[in-house]
Amino acid sequence: MGDYLLGIDIGTSGAKAVLCDIRGHVAAISVRDYPLYTPKAGWAEQDPEDWWRATVAAVRDVMDKGQVPPDRVHAVGLSGQQHGSVFLDGSHRVLRRALLWCDQRTAPQCDWIHEMVGLDTVLAETLNPVVTQFQAPKIVWLQQSEPELFERVRMILLPKDYIRFRLTGVFATEVSDASGTSLLNLAERNWSRVMLSALGLTADMLPEVHESPVASSAICGSAARETGLSVATPVAGGAGDNAASAVGCGIVEDGAVAVSVGTSGTVSASMGRPAFDPEHRVDTCCHAVPGQWLAMGVMLSAGGALRWFRDALCEAESEEARSRGIDTYQVIAERAALAPAGSEGLLFLPYLSGERTPYTDPDARGCLVGLELRHTKSHMARAIMEGVSYGLRDAVEVIHEMGLPIRELRGTGGGFRGGFWGQIFSDVCRKPVWGIAVDEGAAFGAALLAGVAVGIWPDVESACAAAVKTVHLATPDPSSSRIYGRYYAVYRGLYGALREHFAGIAALRKGA
């Protein structure tokens, strides 16, 4: 029986537990879903108790599948969806559903923070403008919209750090996830006294900040009884899902860029200094690697766009998938492959939840442009994959403009499984794409960080060298790349042409 590490990722759609050995071989995986609540247009919430129940079930299942005794798990690493806000009272009880990263209600609060604090001050402290996805405007929204509830708030946590509290009884966070709060001084890698004071917050309302590969707590007795883990098993700081995914892809030095297609899409590049895009099209955050930072482009609906298509329009494909014993997305990819590159003039804008890179616009919306009578669901499926790929190329282009080297693109997430979407992305970006042999994303990266925390590897770079292996995924086809180059130019012009109309539609909806 060997030595094992456990990575837990609190995603938007479910909790994932990954059990792996110290060579990076996965012994077992388990996923448990939970609901997303949208009580109003643009709102997105989840119940932290759902996260905990799913975590307990996933951990118990993965330990059972792996047939690993609890005392062989040397450490636990945590990851999770970034920016969400969990509000606890003085008895450590959750006061309301958590506001999620994809919640768009806080645009007025972003403007309020920029006005009250000053945009220059915000940028000097946090290196990023405040956007609706970040945590600070969610806190201000609670202050302004539910003041009686806010008066009872004694602790504010990010999603993975609520699970850390349930596992350990300790309030702690780490630098990568805290970067997405608009409350962290990114150069100092600690809470910003300036931002806290300006927003009427005190340091005791936020957890202590650690570096990511640090054992900041340990499994407590009650959590051991629920999960089956051993008491006192070290729990690492871990990382926000994007930084953890970057670790899981081996993005720990200049030149390699991670491209993830999950519900959202991210493009992440490691930096040795805290630089930022002067036009604020990509975010800067602390990396899970001490002394490094990430430039990160985020699109809010990547795989989520294809999931919308599946749920809204693909009942027949889902039925075929059930009859064949395969995933519906495989059938959709087969249909998409029937359409030619460029989808015969059909373009898709993937702004189903607003957008963040390269346009910070909560009012932006998805569009199919160029529809004609000959277009079929095959064209629509391919156009969605192409539109998401164009949006991810936007982020790749910004990172290139920042002067960061792009030696290699590493694709991860469900969108790159099966190869077809990865080929489209390679053709769109005109670069080879490499996959990851163990493509379990953030949960795998969290497990590696846990290994560093307990000394299995001396640093994150060594962990990635030992455990992260790449496999060739796609090489750009020159003919398709030429077609996509022409369509990408059209795609780039569509947002500007429609921006005022997006705002007008949003105003009409708010007035309805």
Q: What is the DSSP letter of 101?
A: T
N residues, the chain: 512
Cβ partners under 8 Å of residue 427, min gap 6: 341, 474, 476, 477, 480, 481, 484
Tokens of 346: 């059909």
| DSSP letters spanning 263-291 | SSEEEEEEESS----TT--SEEEE-SSTT
d(CA 476, CA 114): 43
Q: Does residue 351 contact residue 501 with C-beta atoms inside 8 Å?
A: no
SS3 content of the chain, % helix, strand, coil (to 5): 45, 20, 35
Question: Would you tell me how many other CB atoms lie within 10 Å of the CB of residue 436?
Answer: 23
The DSSP bridge partners found for residue 64 are none
Q: Which amino acid is at 494?
A: L
d(CA 111, CA 117): 10
**Residue of 9, 21, 177, 241 with catalytic role:** 241
Q: Is 254 a catalytic residue?
A: no
Cα separations in angstroms, 419 against 121, 268, 337: 45, 21, 11
Q: Which residue has the tokens 């936020």?
A: 206
d(CA 303, CA 50): 23
Q: What is the DSSP letter of 100?
A: P
Q: Does residue 424 contact residue 385 with C-beta atoms inside 8 Å?
A: yes
Q: Kindly list the catalytic residues.
A: 241
